[in-house]
């Protein structure tokens, strides 16, 4: 009986604290890490009291029971730590039923997202760390039912700037057209999605977001592509969908833009802020359609004034046939010696009159220009040729006029939007300055708190935990120092991109992967490749990624030993194999052993010994080891 009562007493104490914790958990303002610590220590004291003097024959049973109660509390603590706390932001993404073909080659390593939150009803202008500007007009998103979304939404973006980004994100950089596989050289690429309460949203066709992406090169011949994430294939959205915008400044303050027209070279616009439009040549006067003589009415030969009737001068052998009721008088009138013969236009288009006059006598005939025989056949062919040319020129003119109007309206809108963006940037800079002041105050507070906590820990009986905590803080500071250096590198990288002074501007009709790109078909030589370490150990891989110096392109190979190389290319690359990351530098490639007939190449590989799942650390290392601020030398 005593045994049962004792066991129930211990269980009661444990569950009593468990119930207290549950009540505090329901009151979000009371429950935190200190609550767990407080209840644990109280539980520990009560357990210590029971352990000190338990009945001898029940001591073993008591210890087992206490252990069981402790397990219950530990499980609860673990659950509460992992569960979202009040105010804590979580990144929830809804998934669709279709499986994506975009699979990163290494679990846990990917290009990170930037997350923006704003009211969908009012819209907003987003400024990415990469320097791009994304404009969401009001009511720009719809829910799955096609209804306009109100309230706050979450927009996620990540830009892909170089071959490293393409490879770790698992983005295909091939384009298949008519059975021919081309390789992409990207000028700007982004993944953009929107959610509300975890539900994926879609673009409102009546209020499309505008993307102004920092361009990684000055290539003008780019089309717009959207990735089908189910099939893994790129869909061409058209060459006229992207406007190349040249900013005057390398920074985003006072940003202005100029449209770059496809009919001119980029160098024609550098340093010139005036937009240039291109007019189609003014078409010549369209000749009158040739008419065949009727062989019924009389014909009159007239010498035409070259300055008066240009539409008639294109035909050889032209005569004039009398068409009015007085045609029978022509034979009699032709016997007279007329002092003057004049050709004038009739009242209707394409009609003419011949006026014979001498002294006080004047005769007028209605006539039409006609041709006979071979002259008519030649004139008919000439007219059809002229008609085609005239029609083409007129259509080109109308098209150019419409395009000029569209570009002018778009430029006005872009200028207005950029002016608004500048104001927002100024406001953002002010908020950032205030935030920096708050951060400085916070850091002082944290420093003071750390000193106080350090003092308490020295007096705490859990000294071992204190030592672990100090070690962890040291590791965090070291990590922060590294991230600070990476932030400097990222800023230099963004500045290098902004110095191009170019933005790729376009609107989107849906969320997902968008790419401003140019397919290429390089002439490559096939090689059988093998990779080895300094110890001559073979390096196997699931995914091989090869980049070319100076070109924003990546070649991906999967479980194959055959690769295509341009003989003059300067290559570097990396492989993914399980959780290992091997790489070779440009120096390794230049020193590679080669043979001919058959073509083979043996490249020395280096094992990366850092954290392969740390995006910034790994990318920075690859850049540094290749002695470049950017893989593609933007």
pLDDT in tens, 18-64: 445 444 444 444 444 455 455 545 555 554 544 444 555 555 555 55
pLDDT of residue 408: 84
Is pLDDT of 89 > 60? no
Cα 561 from chain centroid (whole Å): 32
Region 432-440: mean pLDDT is 64
Averaging pLDDT over each range in 94-103, 424-433, 531-540, 621-630, which range is the top one?
531-540
Residue 147's pLDDT band (boundaries 50, 70, 90)?
A: very high
The whole-chain average pLDDT of the chain stands at: 75
Q: Please give the share of the chain, as a percent, with pLDDT higher than 90.
A: 24
* Percentage of the chain lying above the pLDDT 70 cut: 67
pLDDT of amino acid 470: 72
Cα dihedral 390, 396, 402, 407 sign: negative
Q: What is the pTM of this model?
A: 0.50
Average pLDDT on 455-473 reads: 67
Q: Is the pLDDT of residue 274 over 70?
A: no
Question: What angle in degrees, to the nearest 10, is found between the helix axes of 33-52 and 2-26?
Answer: 170
Residue 314 CA neighbour count, 13 Å, CB half: 19
Distance CA 347, CA 327 (A): 19
Region of poorest pLDDT, from 72-86, 98-112, 423-437? 72-86
Q: What are phi and psi of 111, to 5 degrees?
A: -70, 125
Structural domains of the chain, ranges and CATH numbers in brackets: 2-82 (no CATH), 114-268 (no CATH), 299-370 (no CATH), 522-625 (2.60.40)
| pLDDT score for 626 | 76
pLDDT number for residue 537: 92
- The arithmetic mean of pLDDT across residues 402-419, rounded, is 85
Of the listed ranges 35-49, 343-357, 502-516, 521-535, the least confidently predicted one is 35-49
Give the pLDDT band of residue 11 (cuts 50, 70, 90): very low
39 vs 45: CA distance, rounded Å: 10
CB 482 within 8 A of CB 490: no
Question: What pLDDT does 464 receive?
Answer: 62
Nearest to 416 by CA among 250, 146, 210: 210
Radius of gyration of the chain (CA): 40
Least confidently predicted of 233-247, 253-267, 485-499: 253-267
Q: Would the pLDDT of 290 be above 80? A: yes
pLDDT of residue 261: 30
Strand segments, DSSP code E, in 101-221 are 114-119, 124-127, 133-136, 141-142, 152-160, 174-177, 180-196, 199-200, 202-203, 210-214
Is the CA virtual torsion 372, 374, 375, 376 positive or negative? Answer: positive
pLDDT for 149-168, tens place per residue? 999 999 999 999 899 999 99
In this model, does residue 394 exceed pLDDT 50?
Answer: yes
Query: What pLDDT is stored for residue 339 in this prediction?
Result: 79
CB 605, CB 533: distance < 8 Å = yes
Q: Which of 205-219, 374-388, 450-464, 549-563 has the lowest mean pLDDT?
A: 450-464
Q: Report the pLDDT value the prediction gives residue 79, as an integer from 0 to 100.
A: 47
Residue 120 contacts residue 153 (beta carbons within 8 Å): yes
């Amino acid at each position: 009986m005593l045994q049962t009562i004792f066991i129930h007493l211990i269980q009661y104490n444990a569950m009593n604290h468990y119930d207290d914790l549950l009540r505090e958990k329901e009151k979000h303002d009371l429950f935190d890490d200190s609550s767990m610590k407080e209840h644990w220590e109280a539980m520990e004291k009560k357990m210590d009291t029971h352990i000190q003097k338990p009945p001898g024959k029940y001591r073993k049973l008591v210890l087992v029971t206490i252990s069981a109660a402790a397990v219950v509390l530990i499980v609860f603590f673990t659950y509460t730590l992992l569960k979202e706390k009040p105010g804590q932001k979580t990144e929830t993404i809804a998934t669709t039923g279709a499986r994506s073909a975009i699979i990163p080659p290494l679990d846990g390593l990917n290009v990170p997202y930037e997350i923006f939150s704003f009211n969908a009803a009012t819209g907003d202008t987003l400024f990415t760390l990469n320097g791009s500007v994304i404009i969401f007009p009001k009511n720009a998103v719809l829910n799955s039912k096609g209804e306009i979304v109100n309230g706050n939404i979450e927009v996620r973006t990540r830009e892909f700037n170089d071959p490293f980004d393409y490879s770790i994100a698992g983005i295909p950089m091939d384009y298949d057209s008519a059975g021919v596989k081309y390789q992409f050289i990207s000028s700007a690429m982004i993944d953009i999605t929107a959610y509300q309460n975890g539900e994926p949203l879609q673009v409102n066709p009546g209020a499309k977001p505008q993307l102004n992406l920092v361009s990684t090169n000055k290539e003008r011949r780019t089309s717009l592509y959207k990735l089908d994430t189910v099939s893994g294939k790129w869909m061409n959205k058209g060459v006229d969908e992207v406007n190349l915008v040249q900013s005057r400044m390398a920074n985003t303050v006072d940003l202005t833009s100029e449209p770059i027209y496809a009919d001119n070279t980029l160098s024609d616009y550098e340093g010139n802020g005036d937009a240039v439009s291109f007019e189609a040549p003014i078409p010549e006067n369209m000749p009158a359609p040739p008419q065949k003589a009727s062989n019924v009415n009389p014909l009159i030969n007239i010498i035409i004034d070259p300055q008066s009737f240009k539409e008639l001068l294109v035909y050889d052998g032209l005569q004039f046939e009398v068409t009015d009721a007085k045609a029978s008088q022509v034979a009699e009138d032709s016997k007279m010696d007329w002092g003057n013969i004049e050709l004038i236009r009739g009242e209707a288009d394409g009609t003419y009159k011949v006026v014979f006059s001498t002294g006080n006598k004047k005769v007028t005939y209605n006539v039409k220009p006609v041709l006979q025989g071979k002259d008519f056949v030649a004139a008919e062919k000439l007219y059809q040729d002229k008609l085609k040319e005239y029609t083409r020129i007129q259509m080109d003119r109308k098209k150019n006029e419409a395009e000029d109007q569209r570009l002018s309206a778009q430029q006005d809108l872009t200028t207005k939007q950029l002016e608004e963006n500048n104001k927002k940037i100024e406001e953002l800079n002010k908020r950032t300055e205030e935030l920096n002041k708050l951060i400085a105050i916070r850091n002082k507070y944290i420093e003071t708190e750390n000193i106080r906590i350090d003092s308490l820990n020295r007096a705490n009986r859990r000294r071992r935990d204190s030592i672990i905590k100090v070690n962890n803080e040291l590791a965090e500071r070291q990590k922060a120092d590294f991230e600070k250096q990476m932030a400097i590198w990222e800023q230099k990288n963004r500045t290098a991109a902004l110095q191009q002074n170019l933005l790729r501007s376009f609107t989107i009709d849906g969320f997902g992967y968008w790419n401003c790109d140019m397919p290429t078909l390089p002439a490559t030589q096939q090689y059988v490749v093998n990779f080895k370490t300094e110890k001559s150990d073979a390096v196997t891989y699931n995914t091989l990624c090869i980049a070319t110096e100076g070109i924003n392109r990546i070649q991906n190979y999967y479980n194959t030993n055959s690769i295509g190389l341009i003989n003059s290319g300067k290559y570097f690359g990396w492989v993914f194999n399980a959780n290992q990351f091997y790489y070779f530098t440009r120096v390794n490639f230049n020193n590679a052993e080669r043979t001919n007939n058959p073509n083979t190449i043996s490249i020395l590989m280096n094992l990366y010994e850092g954290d392969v799942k740390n995006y910034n650390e790994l990318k920075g290392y690859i850049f540094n080891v290749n002695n470049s601020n950017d893989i593609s030398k933007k």
